[in-house]
Amino acid sequence: MPNSYVRAAGIASVLGAAFVLLGIGIAGVVTPDYSAIRDVISGSQLGPYGSLVTLGLTGGGSLTVVFASLLQRTLPPGNVIGPGLLVVRGFGTLLAAAFLADVGPVRTAGGYLHVIGFVGGSLAFGIGLFFLAGRMRLDEAWQTLAPYTVATALASLAILGLFVGLGPRYVGDTTAPLSAIGGLIQRLLTLTTWTWHLVIGAWLLLRPAAVPAEA
- How many domains does the chain fold into? 1
Terminal alpha carbon distance of the chain? 18
Give the sign of the dihedral formed by CA 29, CA 32, CA 36, CA 41.
Answer: negative
Q: At CA 148, angle to CA 198 and CA 95, rounded to 5?
A: 50
Residue 211 falls inside a structural domain: no
Beta bridge partners of 103: 171
Residue 215 falls inside a structural domain: no
pLDDT (0 to 100) of residue 3: 80
pLDDT (0 to 100) of residue 215: 33
Residue 171 falls inside a structural domain: yes
Residue 173 falls inside a structural domain: yes
Residue 214 falls inside a structural domain: no
pLDDT beneath 70: ranges in the chain? 1-2, 209-215
What dihedral angle (degrees, nearest 10) is formed by the CA atoms of 25, 29, 31, 36?
A: 80
Structural domain of residue 51, as residue ranges? 3-206
pLDDT (0 to 100) of residue 1: 55
